């Protein structure tokens, strides 16, 4: 069991860019240690990151998250090398420009946002039990409010594709739905779980072809704040998790009623079955 004198440890996925990068910097600046589950390396021109890597306060684990074998290798390393986790930030995500599929054959948004987040939590659950805060923050999106039709049977292989408001939005809704459905059963372990919208952020990257409509890209560049905004919302949600019912979806860090809540159990059963039959087995 972790003692009160030991440093707080967070695991952050998608920590090398955008909101995840700024969240990692915020945690390090506040004397946390960070285990980063990442696909690409951190840039070394940031003194805080460079110093934290050198001192072991920032530890990296490389994986292609949507490749189960790559993910398994990284998670086994984490379980071997980390003693405990206080907070898990399931933050890795993105919007893709076309309909695409993971190595396991599922639509890529759904695999990354909903399935992989569930796997990471289940595999690191014991480390969270060993921590003190025992908090999980799943990064969701206000795009889920725009979902007009939701069929859990189509999440793995949708019939159509639409940028931002298609598989991206439905996969974020699926993430929030299984979060809401699973959270009550975690109270016996003292684990609290929330899904959180980090708000609009300018996360446009020149080296990435995002799945954003042109109007959304223009708004990001002209109107949206930098990703420090979203990082602050996620950080605040974790710090104040005890003030909010576990399982809540937070919009502007206030609970918001999820659409299609009647499908929560089916979505949870879907990701649980994938985990048990394809990953854990």
pLDDT for the residue 221: 64
Distances (CA, A) of 273 to 25, 61, 100, 121: 35, 26, 22, 15
Taking the C-alpha atoms of residue 23 and residue 150, their distance in angstroms, rounded to an integer, is 31
Phi then psi for 89, rounded to 5 degrees?
-105, 100
Alpha helices per DSSP H over the chain: 18-29, 47-55, 68-81, 108-110, 116-129, 167-182, 214-222, 228-239, 264-274
Global confidence as pTM: 0.94
Which range is least confidently modeled, 79-93, 99-113, 167-181, 189-203? Answer: 189-203
CATH 3.40.50.720 fits 9-198+227-280, yes or no: yes
pLDDT for the residue 239: 97
Q: At what angle do helices 116-129 and 264-274 cross, to 10 degrees?
A: 80
pLDDT digits (tens, 9 = 90+) for 197-232: 999 876 665 655 666 656 666 666 667 677 899 999
pLDDT for the residue 5: 76
pLDDT for the residue 227: 86
Domain boundaries, the chain: 9-198+227-280
Taking the C-alpha atoms of residue 247 and residue 176, their distance in angstroms, rounded to an integer, is 8
pLDDT digits (tens, 9 = 90+) for 128-174: 999 999 999 999 999 999 999 999 999 999 999 999 899 999 999 99
pLDDT digits (tens, 9 = 90+) for 168-193: 999 999 999 999 999 999 999 999 99
Whether 93 and 113 have beta carbons less than 8 Å apart is answered as yes
Whether 173 and 150 have beta carbons less than 8 Å apart is answered as yes
Taking the C-alpha atoms of residue 113 and residue 139, their distance in angstroms, rounded to an integer, is 9
Buried b (16+ CB within 10 A) or exposed e, 244-263: bebbbbbbebeebebbbeeb
Taking the C-alpha atoms of residue 24 and residue 35, their distance in angstroms, rounded to an integer, is 9
The pair of three-digit structure tokens given for residue 258, joined into one six-digit string: 């999820």
Taking the C-alpha atoms of residue 70 and residue 177, their distance in angstroms, rounded to an integer, is 26
pLDDT for the residue 213: 59
pLDDT digits (tens, 9 = 90+) for 9-63: 999 999 999 999 999 999 999 999 999 999 999 988 999 999 999 999 999 999 9
> 3-class DSSP state for residue 38?
strand
User: In degrees to the nearest 10, what's the CA dihedral of 59, 82, 15, 107?
Assistant: 140
pLDDT for the residue 206: 63
Strand 135-139 versus strand 192-196 pairing type: parallel
Question: Across residues 227-255, what is the average pLDDT?
Answer: 96
């Amino acid at each position: 069991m972790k003692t009160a004198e030991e440093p707080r440890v967070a695991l952050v996925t998608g920590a090398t860019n955008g909101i995840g990068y700024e969240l990692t910097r915020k945690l390090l600046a506040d004397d946390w240690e960070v285990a980063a589950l990442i696909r690409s390396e951190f840039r070394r021109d940031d003194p805080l990151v460079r110093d934290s890597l050198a001192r072991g306060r920032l530890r990296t684990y490389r994986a292609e998250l949507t490749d189960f074998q790559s993910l398994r290798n990284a998670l086994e390393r984490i379980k071997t090398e980390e003693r405990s986790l206080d907070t898990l930030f399931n933050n890795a995500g993105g919007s893709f420009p076309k309909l695409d599929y993971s190595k396991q054959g599922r639509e890529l948004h759904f695999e990354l946002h909903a399935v992989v987040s569930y796997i990471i939590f289940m595999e690191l659950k014991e480390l969270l039990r060993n921590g003190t805060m025992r908090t999980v923050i799943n990064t969701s999106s206000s795009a889920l409010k725009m979902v007009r039709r939701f069929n859990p049977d189509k999440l793995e292989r949708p019939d159509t594709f639409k940028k931002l408001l298609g598989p991206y939005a439905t996969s974020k809704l699926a993430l929030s739905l299984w979060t809401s459905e699973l959270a009550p059963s975690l109270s016996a372990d003292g684990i609290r779980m929330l899904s959180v919208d980090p708000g609009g952020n300018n996360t446009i990257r020149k080296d990435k072809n995002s799945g954003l409509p042109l109007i959304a890209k223009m708004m990001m560049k002209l109107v949206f704040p930098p990703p420090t905004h979203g990082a602050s919302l996620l950080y605040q949600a974790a710090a104040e998790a005890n003030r909010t019912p576990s399982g809540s979806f937070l919009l502007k860090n206030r609970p918001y009623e999820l659409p299609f809540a009647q499908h929560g159990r089916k979505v949870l059963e879907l990701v649980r079955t994938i985990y048990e039959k394809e990953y854990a087995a």
